Structure 1
Amino acid sequence: MVLLLGACPEYGILVYEYMAKGSLDDRLFRRGNTPAISWQLRFRIAAEIATGLLFLHQTKPEPIVHRDLKPGNVLLDHNYVSKISDVGLARLVPAVAENVTQCRATSAAGTFCYIDPEYQQTGMLGVKSDVYSLGIMLLQLLTAKQPMGLAYYVEQAVEEGKLKDMLDPAVPDWPLEEATSLAKLSLQCAELRRKDRPDLGKEVMPVLNRLREMGEESLESVYYAGHGPMSHSSQVSYTSVRCCIDIASD
């Protein structure tokens, strides 16, 4: 989560830690002619976002639902480490019977194309409302395309064996098997019915952590093999990965 440093009530201003690379949305769509994010780094960002989301959902005594998860609300530091921001719409939801976490809202809040359709129709908010938003975001990490109708187009591509045509062409070396695995998981997260979406901690995180580890191993093998200089995006990815590994080791 992005660290809140202070506030200025007189002007309604919140001051957060500085995130040098701006939003994930800006970097995915390469605004300002910035370099494309490598697939290794995208896999890591996907796992980081889900980890932050799981932290909110496991808050005690009640889980917190973000309600406005989208690439514009994920910020990146100078090493492309991602953090979730803008929890202005987030709310606590009470735990009810049968381990179902949900509450009723008078009106749906969030951003069009990322809002859980079931929440939008019924006003019933739950942790899996965020899982839907996460699914759309993961599809954008793969394709760098706008969210409107994206789940439908990716699903068609997967069924027809043409996912490669949907992947962000700015990344030339996508591992197709792993990208397909992420696409299928993303589509499960973006199911219209909440009960059809996977559990974030038990089903989504294991897949994303496996993909992150695979990306880290790929970067390390390239680095240690000494196959010439790494690209800019790969250098950034490797630096960020090593930073995360060192912090985890500490």
Structure 2
Amino acid sequence: MLLQIVTARPPMGLTHHVGRALEHGTFADLLDPAVQDWPVEEAQRFAEVALRCCELRRKDRPDLATVVLPELYRLRALGEDNMQFCNNMSARGGMHSSPFYSNSSYSQPRQDAATDPMLGRPQYNSNVSQNAMPARRSNYN
């Protein structure tokens, strides 16, 4: 699902296509064309983590608490910083393109902890039993 978010492609064979694109340096060609001004390097790092999450064996997948969540939080902070940039430019009367967002990709102002349900949620607890949810085999490799 993470790879579908950045590519807007169906899941069948997606891990294979993304993996090959990363190997051949053509990952930018797979990004969702409906989104303008992709931060390609950031999307690529996201895709690399997403690919690791698709591994069949649990031991080959990254740890949620130490690898996946920190990357998602980093990307969220990047997005919030760029939304703040867009808000500041809009308030000054001129909307100029940021390094990551164009005028057409600006949608909503940044939410704070009082209105954003994700900010109020507790972080992932890595002490929860690994057996709480059965492992799933990936059909995409």
TM-score of the pair, normalised by structure 2: 0.70
Listed one character per residue, the Cα deviations across residues 92-146 of structure 1 (whole Å, up to 9, x for unaligned) are xxxxxxxxxxxxxxxxxxxxxxxxxxxxxxxxxxxxxxxxxxxxx1101110100
- Cα displacement (A) at 1:246: 3.8
**1:1-250 counterparts in 2 under 5 A?**
137-226=1-90, 227-228=94-95, 231=103, 233-236=105-108, 238=109, 241-242=110-111, 244-247=112-115, 248=119
List runs of 5+ in structure 2 lacking aligned partners. 97-101, 121-141
CA RMSD of aligned residues (A): 2.1
Residue 72 of structure 2 aligns to a residue whose secondary structure is helix
Q: Once superposed, which parts of structure 1, at least 4 consecutive aligned residues long, lie more than 6 Å away?
A: none
Q: Is the 8 A contact 2:6 2:32 kept in 1?
A: yes
Partner SS, residue 32 of structure 2: coil
Give 1:233 deviation, angstroms: 4.8
CA distance in 2, matches of 1:186, 1:140: 10
Return the letter of the residue paired with 1:223: N
**C-alpha separation in 1, matches of 2:55 and 2:37:** 29
Unmatched segments (≥5 aa) in structure 1:
1-136
Residue aligned with 1:198, SS = coil
Between the aligned partners of 1:246 and 1:217, the Cα distance in structure 2 is 18
Change over 3 Å in CA distance of 1:186–1:192 after alignment to 2: same
d(CA) in 2 for partners of 1:210, 1:218: 12
Distance 1:153 1:198, change over 3 A: same
| C-alpha displacement of 1:173 | 0.7
Q: 1:221 offset after TM fit, Å?
A: 0.6
Alpha-carbon shift at residue 175 of structure 1 (Å): 0.3
Match of 1:71 in 2: none
Q: Which amino acid in structure 2 is aligned with residue 235 of structure 1?
A: S
Radius of gyration: which is bigger?
A: 1
One-letter amino acid of the structure 2 residue matched with residue 176 of structure 1: V
SS at match of 1:146: coil
Q: Is the 8 A contact 2:15 2:51 kept in 1?
A: yes
Paired with 1:225 and 1:233, the residues of 2 have a C-alpha distance of 14
Of the two structures, which has the highest relative contact order with CA contacts closer than 8 Å and spacing of 6 or more? 2
Question: Identity rate of aligned residues, in percent?
Answer: 44
TM-score by length of 1: 0.41
Which whole-Å CA distance do the structure 2 matches of 1:159 and 1:147 have between them? 19
